Amino acid sequence: MSVTELENSLERMSLSIADAQQNFESLKQSIRKHFQTPVIVVNNKIVEEIKLTDEQQKIYDEVVAKLGNLENDPLYLYVCGPAGTGKSVLLSELYKKINRRFENGCKIVAPTGIAALNVDGSTVHSVFKLDPYGTTYDENPFAFDMNTKVIIIDEISMVDATLFARIDNRLKTKFNNDEPFGGCSIIVFGDLMQLEPVFDKTNKSFVFQEIPSNTPFHNGLKNQLWNLFKFAELTDNRRTTDVKEANVLKLIRTGEYEDAKNDNFFENKQCLKDLPAFIDEGDAAFKKFKELRTDANNLIILAATNEIVDFINLQGLFELPGDAYLYKKQKIPYAHYARVVSNDIEHLRVKIGSPVMLTCNIDVKRGLVNGLIGKVSNCEEDGITVSFPSIGNDVKIERQNWQKNGKGPIYAQFPLRLATAITIHKSQGITVDSVLFVTADLFANNHFYTAISRAKSLKNSWITRYRDDMIKTSGESRAEIDRMRTEAALFELAPVME
């Protein structure tokens, strides 16, 4: 009997509570027999029950202890932790527990499509109907389950202060409640030492900082919403059992790493070690990629800029056998709707077998989100069929209407780009077996740590070149984590206890 059949069986039951419990115990025993795992039911869905670590269990128990009094005492919690410490596991278990306590009482959102997919959630902008390029009050009507008690936001490092304020404003309006976030409890997950929000020149503000003066949410104070949040921290790296590797990642994250002081960990992981500076790093990375890739090894090339990524992706395209299919963007005389983009692809070239990435959210519920990676399996004039392993099926992708920066002519083009290599920004939140990291042109804080920590293990991971000055971290983010950690310790409080 499959899990789906068991779920359908649950839905058909119209028995007394005692009989239903007896039948459900029988169903659970059947699942344990077939799948060798404990199970629970959430919203009529049979899901696996996970064994938490001591750190995770402590935070879990403290959140659960607060659930009985959320209306009078809303919960505001930041769960911090480096890559690999089990934030997503804890998030999932809290979601299941809250929805067992309150039917449809918990909603998960994230700032990007791929981040939302990773935690079975939705994007912030789709849930709250936010203009992706807006910084003012949002007035579009939006459907929202009024039973929602708790909202979980993942990848909080990529949420800026203005977006945080817009979420607060939408919830206040929806619930007709002037309390923070309309009275909803908020749990945020993420690592402020990973990727920062995408800033423009006039709107730079971390989630914990003052809201920019060019928005209506500005009040001249440090972010009062963020000051509501208590601090909880996960520190045990569950992704690697190698103590040395875990220590290297820890030091890189905080900006304290020096290769010479750590047995030259990266000395033999450089593709271009001892080669002249003029050797192209993108070219070297692709040659190493061809040497390392296997069907069993989930290896990806990461780079900081689109220029490097595009160069490597063209090399990957030329290496594939068969003919390339060229798709030119088509001008549309009139359209009711067009996606606003900052750049578009005038000519898309793919082959059968090309790794590609979706560049917009098509259907979040089906998992077709911005950043999803698959392989081209068929090319036709009206569509490109892509096999997406993470959602388990082939999907025919059709052209989408685009308008650059919301102005000018509207074009139709397939929302795909080659993905032998991807930018570090697109990699936030994903986990692969190993990475091949092009270290040229790093321009943002936490680039090095975010890229290298995507790998399950550094044993089979490579970089093009290494210098200690490549490791740059955000002093502001580090100071904020230190402040919250110190404050929690100073008052000798469990992170969510009053």
Spatial distance between the Cα atoms of 254 and 205, rounded to a whole number of angstroms: 20
Spatial distance between the Cα atoms of 264 and 468, rounded to a whole number of angstroms: 11
Which residues make Cβ contacts (< 8 Å) with residue 161, sequence separation at least 6?
205, 206, 207, 208, 209, 210, 211, 212, 223, 226
Please, which pLDDT band fits residue 31 given cuts at 50, 70 and 90? very low
Please, which pLDDT band fits residue 49 given cuts at 50, 70 and 90? low
Lowest mean pLDDT among 198-202, 271-275, 341-345, 411-415: 198-202
Return the percentage of the chain with pLDDT > 90, whole number: 47
Spatial distance between the Cα atoms of 181 and 162, rounded to a whole number of angstroms: 14
Residue 418 φ/ψ, nearest 5 degrees: -60, 150
What is the strand order of the sheet 339-341 is part of? 330-332, 410-413, 400-404, 339-341
Spatial distance between the Cα atoms of 498 and 496, rounded to a whole number of angstroms: 7
Between strands 150-153 and 106-110, the pairing is parallel
DSSP state of 34: H
Lowest mean pLDDT among 97-101, 269-273, 332-336, 359-363: 332-336
What the block records as the tokens of 306 is: 């689109």
**This model's pTM is above 0.95:** no
Tell which residue, 342, 348, 469, 478, has the closest CA to residue 417: 348
Please determine, for residue 200, whether its predicted confidence score (pLDDT) is greater than 90: no
Spatial distance between the Cα atoms of 43 and 96, rounded to a whole number of angstroms: 9
Tell which residue, 195, 182, 181, 179, has the closest CA to residue 428: 195
In tens, the pLDDT along 416-446 reads 999 999 999 888 878 888 899 999 998 888 9
Return the percentage of the chain with pLDDT > 70, whole number: 82
Please determine, for residue 278, whether its predicted confidence score (pLDDT) is greater than 70: no
Contact 373, 356 (CB under 8 A): yes
The full set of domain ranges for the chain reads 3-48, 54-237, 256-470
Tell which residue, 120, 198, 205, 203, has the closest CA to residue 154: 120
Which residues make Cβ contacts (< 8 Å) with residue 360, sequence separation at least 6?
113, 339, 341, 370, 400, 415
Please, which pLDDT band fits residue 25 given cuts at 50, 70 and 90? low
DSSP state of 119: T
Spatial distance between the Cα atoms of 403 and 337, rounded to a whole number of angstroms: 9
Lowest mean pLDDT among 146-160, 161-175, 390-404: 390-404
Spatial distance between the Cα atoms of 426 and 155, rounded to a whole number of angstroms: 13
Please determine, for residue 1, whether its predicted confidence score (pLDDT) is greater than 60: no
In tens, the pLDDT along 373-406 reads 999 999 999 999 999 988 888 999 999 988 876 6
The type of residue at 320 is L
> CATH class for domain 54-237?
alpha beta
Contact 68, 474 (CB under 8 A): no
| Number of other residues whose CB lies within 10 A of the CB of residue 372 | 23
Of residues 14 and 331, more confidently modeled: 331
Give the up-direction half-sphere exposure of residue 185: CA atoms within 13 A in the CB hemisphere. Answer: 27
DSSP state of 72: T
